[in-house]
Structure 1
């Protein structure tokens, strides 16, 4: 008689444990350095932006809460694998190199890299890069592309830890051109200080840019990956992704099946 009761007790405990685990907030890792319009702090001090709001929508579709967890970009993958965050959702491209150490969900958006320089500079890219100083944020797909494809162009590539450092050095004249995400650059060019700059060209599709932007998670976390993929598909199909994209980016960058 006691044996079935013990089984029932154990099953109940497991069920409660599962419920508790499922109710825990999902720690969503983003870079501690703002990356508008994808991730940045509102006047209230809370994090917002296209990916932050999309993360909350994805969590809602999973019936979980999001806990936005800023960390340094250069250490964001180690933080994931160390268990300090559960996922990475910060414009991280799905690339073969990254897939050696982490897994990804299906892509949820894609944009190309863009070259930005002063409007009054007549430049044909990549032919006229020889002798110019070009800024790129390190540990990004744009940096990988520049390293693989632009070394022979004669351009002097300067790597930076933060995207805003690249932008500021372009504005101050310490750089001739920068290579960064096209959507981020479109937003950057709306600033008053950047009125004399423009996008000169976009980078071609290249293996360095991977398959698009996905949510990074630890390898073999199959259950979470399946839940995230289902939730991403849901927020894309119901129009949530497109609505947020139009609100924050001015265009629809969502990846549809």
Structure 2
């Protein structure tokens, strides 16, 4: 190939890259997981994940294009290139690493059970026998409930969203739920719908199930994008932007130690 043709090819590649940057970064999110991601009354997205994502895009000088998905469709959408990344409270786990690559974490939390206040589970969780426990389908809580709580006699019931779980708890079609402790505290226990319920049993944080924090997922092998996110995460933590967003939603450091 002549130098002239090589130069033309380089210009075409450069133009394609510029066009991709102009088109923005398509980020998958599930808008049914308050306070991390939810819809406001006017239909606009809001939440910790949404604000963090916008701050990261601003730091990277790229436009955020938010693509709403149901939770169990996020990774498939990433793999078929409908989105470029997932920012939807996705926990880093060894199982998920087989399908996607992760950035550094941007927050950490534990899993907890919420049950009726007077229900006693026992130190071995034997009190779960026969109890109907709601989980969000395809979540880490679904996997833990299936592999750890079902053998103790729990009946695991799966839902598309955590909000559906809450409705069935209130209607007494469930005995409890397993989910993120921050979510349960802020969107259920502190709300009228959560009256009569409380955290039950220990915090669950086995790394084999709950990984090493929550991160952004990118396609396998897309280390350049992961590193861009990593730099931006470090930068918004250093310049105070992360702390401002943290304080908007939480009265504690959600990033963790």
Asked if these proteins are the same fold (TM beyond 0.5), I'd say yes
The residue number in structure 2 matching 1:53 is 51
Offset at 1:157? 1.6
Is structure 2 residue 3 aligned with structure 1 residue 30? Answer: no
The residue number in structure 2 matching 1:134 is 133
The residue number in structure 2 matching 1:244 is 245
Unmatched 5+ stretches in structure 2: none
Offset at 1:127? 3.3
Choose between structure 1 and 2: higher strand proportion.
Answer: 2
SS in 1 for 2:209: helix
State the alpha-carbon separation in 1 of the partners of residues 232 and 120 from structure 2: 45
Deviation digits for residues 134-164 of structure 1 (CA, Å, limit 9, x no counterpart): 1111211111111222223122221222211
Offset at 1:62? 0.5
SS in 1 for 2:62: coil
Deviation digits for residues 189-211 of structure 1 (CA, Å, limit 9, x no counterpart): 22122122222234332111111
C-alpha distance 255-225 of structure 1, shift in aligned 2 (>3 A)? farther
The residue number in structure 1 matching 2:167 is 168
| Residues paired across the two proteins, number | 253
Is structure 2 residue 103 aligned with structure 1 residue 102? Answer: no
The residue number in structure 2 matching 1:201 is 201
SS in 2 for 1:203: strand
State the alpha-carbon separation in 2 of the partners of residues 88 and 202 from structure 1: 30
Deviation digits for residues 196-249 of structure 1 (CA, Å, limit 9, x no counterpart): 222223433211111111111111112111111111111222232232123113
SS in 2 for 1:97: helix
The residue number in structure 2 matching 1:235 is 236
The residue number in structure 2 matching 1:183 is 182
SS in 1 for 2:174: coil
Pairing 1:214-233 to 2, within 5 Å after superposition? 214-233=215-234
Contact 1:37 1:249 in 2 (8 A): no
State the alpha-carbon separation in 1 of the partners of residues 201 and 116 from structure 2: 12
Unmatched 5+ stretches in structure 1: none
- Higher mean Cα deviation, 17-26 or 129-138? 17-26
Deviation digits for residues 114-138 of structure 1 (CA, Å, limit 9, x no counterpart): 1111223344362321222111112
State the alpha-carbon separation in 2 of the partners of residues 116 and 76 from structure 1: 26
- Higher mean Cα deviation, 66-75 or 46-55? 66-75
Contact 2:48 2:245 in 1 (8 A): yes
State the alpha-carbon separation in 2 of the partners of residues 203 and 223 from structure 1: 35
C-alpha distance 202-241 of structure 1, shift in aligned 2 (>3 A)? farther
State the alpha-carbon separation in 2 of the partners of residues 11 and 135 from structure 1: 54
The residue number in structure 2 matching 1:253 is 254
